[in-house]
Amino acid sequence: MKLFSSFFLSSSLILLGAGCAELKPSFDDSFSHPPEITITESGTVHHGLEGSFCFEGTCVDMISPMEIMKEENRSFEDIGTALITMNLKIIPTEISIDLFSDAMVPVCTMTSTKVTEKEYTTKLCTSNPGTYILTIGAWFAGGDESYSFPIRMKE
């Protein structure tokens, strides 16, 4: 009985000590990221804000585009035309293009089910001056991803 009590007491102390130990999270960023999507407008390349993705077995959920903008201290980038070219490092099987107001109210959805080139040019559904969030979702054989572009349409 004394042996059992000693074993129980030592086990409890070990477990109690382990429970009080400071556990630091381990962030592993060695997983594969999907290829970056950029847009080009009037010769200027615009880098987007990486959103949620699932790629090669890794899934990451991100916060909303407006929250990412605030966190990364990004402002709206001026674009002069409604004609943009998406620069794709891998040809996706499908893309979805959505335009939202800066209050994240949907303005329009443009979907293409067939993309055959790494550069895909499309006209935005509006050329009205204002601030917008352009979101691009792309689906690949290895997964999917989303990017957001805070843009300001000029007059």
127, HSE (Cβ side, Cα atoms, 13 Å):
8
Q: How many helices (H) and strands (E) does the chain have?
A: 2, 11
CATH architecture of 31-153: Sandwich (2.60)
Residue 152 pLDDT class (50, 70, 90 cuts): very high
Residue percentage of the chain with pLDDT more than 70: 79
Report which of residues 9 and 65 the model is more confident about. Answer: 65
pLDDT for 32 equals 75
Domains of the chain, residue spans: 31-153
Residue 127 pLDDT class (50, 70, 90 cuts): confident
pTM score of the predicted model: 0.75
Q: Smallest Cα–Cα separation from 50: which of 58, 63, 42?
A: 63
What's the token pair of residue 90? Answer: 């891998």
Query: Mean pLDDT, the chain, as a whole number?
Result: 78
Q: Smallest Cα–Cα separation from 144: which of 66, 67, 58, 68?
A: 58
